[in-house]
Amino acid sequence: MSDYDTVPAAVEGEDEIPADHPRYQDLLTRHRIEEGVEKGITHLQGMHAEGRGSAFDYLLGEETIPSADEAERAAAAHLLLADEPVLSINGNVAALVPGESVDLAEAVGADLEINLFNRTPERMTAIADHLRAHGASGIKGLEADARIPGLDHERAKVDADGIYGADVVVVPLEDGDRAEALDAMGKTEIVVDLNPLSRSAQVADVPIVDNVIRAVPNVAAHARELSDADEATLRGVVDAFDPDVALESAEARIRAGDLVEE
Ligand code: ATP
Ligand code: MG
């Protein structure tokens, strides 16, 4: 029997989750999503998405595998080379990594755009307020004055000077249809998705198979480390990255990886 059988399924605060629990990051992400639902930031469907992700993260041993770290470095190089980079924020991302997203946007000079699958004015406002409480300013997505071609009306809404005009977009936990539509628009797409077989990961220029709570801060760390690099060096990092190799390596790790000790 483990020492942790008494960990309650729902805790009142993050500090009640024992940091040395073998499934600490799962308990933490679950707790943040629950809080997000309670605050009106995250749709109940976000809990299902989280559940799918957590199964993959269990098999990865809740760690950033080397191929994901390479993808995170390539993502940082793409973002530093971009003219108009944008980070797309949905209800799960807002609940899981609000401050970390603001920090990444600052590190690479990107805008944050709220982009929801289940878009309501109340959730848009709740997420904008939540991001502002974590230091964000100039949040995009509220105007919704442009449309992504090939998607139905609500799913297609974006800002003309945000995702619509962006050259590089980071789309964590994106649904497959929208990831495909952004790809068809010719964007350089950086996807964070724990499922290497997800359509979103499959269409990405840079698929990051890692938990968003590890991925976003690690892309920011790589960006800071590369901030003095010249353009040729950044192009070298981008060109050395192969999305197919990264996806294969993640899938191999998930299928064959050793489970963390109970
Ligand atoms: P589709 O076929 O449209 O891509 P899907 O099964 O991928 O559908 P979605 O709800 O659109 O479902 O996407 C959720 C994705 O996000 C899943 O692939 C899941 O593994 C991944 N995911 C969930 N939580 C996290 C997380 N914390 N970090 C990274 N990826 C996550
Ligand atoms: Mg998917």
Secondary structure (H, E, C), 42-104: CCCHHHHHHHHHHHHHHHHCCCCCHHHHHHHHHHHHHHHHCCCEEEEECHHHHHHCHHHHHHH
The number of residues making up the chain comes to 262
Q: How far is the CA of 50 from the centre of ligand 1 (A)?
A: 7
Residue 262 or residue 116, greater confidence: 116
| Environment class of 3 (CB within 10 Å of its CB; exposed 0-12, middle 13-18, buried 19+) | exposed
Residues with CB in 5 Å of ion ligand 2? 176, 198, 200
Residue 136: count other Cβ atoms within 10 Å of its Cβ.
22
Amino acid at 20: D
| Pocket flag, ligand 1, residue 25 (CB < 6 Å) | no
pTM for the full predicted model: 0.93
Tell whether the model's pLDDT for residue 261 goes beyond 60: no
Q: Is 20 helix (H, G, I), strand (E, B) or coil?
A: coil
| Pocket flag, ligand 1, residue 127 (CB < 6 Å) | no
Cα–Cα distance, 148 to 160 (Å, whole number): 10
**Pseudo-torsion of CA 41, 45, 49, 54, nearest 10°?**
80
Give residue for tokens 């998930």: 254
The pLDDT of residue 72: 99
For 110-149, the pLDDT digits (tens) are: 999 999 988 999 999 999 999 999 999 999 999 999 999 9
Confidence of residue 259 (pLDDT cuts 50, 70, 90): low
The pLDDT of residue 142: 96
The pLDDT of residue 131: 98
Pocket test for ligand 1, best of 27, 45, 52, 192 (most atoms within 8 A of CB): 52
| Pocket flag, ligand 1, residue 90 (CB < 6 Å) | no
User: Parallel, antiparallel, or unpaired: how do β-strands 157-158 and 146-147 relate?
Assistant: antiparallel
What sign has the CA pseudo-torsion 68, 74, 80, 86? negative
For 71-90, the pLDDT digits (tens) are: 999 999 999 999 999 999 99
Containing 45, the helix (H) or strand (E) segment is helix 45-60
Structure tokens at 49: 């998405």
Tell whether the model's pLDDT for residue 1 goes beyond 50: no
The pLDDT of residue 262: 45
The pLDDT of residue 258: 64
Q: Which residue from 180, 212, 214 is spatially nearest to 198, judged by alpha carbons?
A: 180
Q: How far apart are the first and last CA of the chain?
A: 9
Give residue for tokens 């945000």: 162
Cα–Cα distance, 112 to 224 (Å, whole number): 18
